[in-house]
């Protein structure tokens, strides 16, 4: 009976430690996000300079707040207009993906930048769409960290954190 009580107490303490440290129980920083079951929730109009361009681009964006900041996840819905994306450039404050445009949009020259979310930008040129996220315009006193950059279901995906 004493062994059972000791085991129960040990498991209770271990459980409390794991729950207090979410990084141990869920590795969301390094795991790939998944495509949500709903339609993208952010739309950015495309400013066409020439060629046949899509009228807008869509993103799935989500935010999870936690004490001292929050975590953003963004997935660019490029699959309707482009072939699979690939990560082409990256640094501490930016990530850039390139995807070859499908033949219908290969002539497109233009860009899409959101007034609400100016850190996300699409550029169309040379038969490609380039999706770029750039955190450098954010105030320098707010610490940022890109914790995931990759391709999910052929689409660019990024997870990044921001401190208060």
pLDDT band at 67 (very low <50, low <70, confident <90, very high): confident
The pTM of the full predicted model, rounded to 2 decimals, is 0.79
Task: Pick the range with the lowest mean pLDDT from 23-32, 68-77, 97-106.
Answer: 23-32
Domain coordinates in residue numbering, the chain: 1-29, 32-163
Beta strands in the chain (DSSP E): 42-45, 47-50, 56-66, 69-77, 86-90, 94-100, 109-113, 120-125, 128-134, 144-152, 155-163
């Amino acid at each position: 009976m004493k062994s059972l009580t000791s085991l129960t107490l040990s498991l209770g303490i271990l459980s409390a430690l794991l729950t207090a440290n979410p990084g141990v129980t869920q590795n969301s920083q390094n795991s790939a996000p998944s495509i949500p079951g709903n339609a993208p929730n952010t739309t950015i109009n495309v400013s066409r300079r020439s060629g046949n361009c899509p009228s807008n681009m869509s993103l799935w964006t989500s935010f999870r707040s936690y004490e001292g900041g929050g975590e953003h996840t963004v997935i660019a819905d490029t699959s309707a207009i482009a072939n699979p994306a690939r990560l082409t450039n990256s640094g501490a404050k930016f990530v850039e993906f390139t995807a070859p445009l499908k033949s219908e949009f290969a002539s497109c020259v233009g860009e899409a930048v959101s007034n609400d979310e100016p850190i996300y930008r699409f550029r169309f040129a040379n038969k490609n769409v380039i999706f770029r996220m750039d955190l450098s315009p954010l105030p320098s006193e707010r610490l940022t960290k890109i914790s995931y950059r990759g391709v999910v279901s052929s689409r660019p995906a990024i997870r990044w954190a921001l401190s208060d």
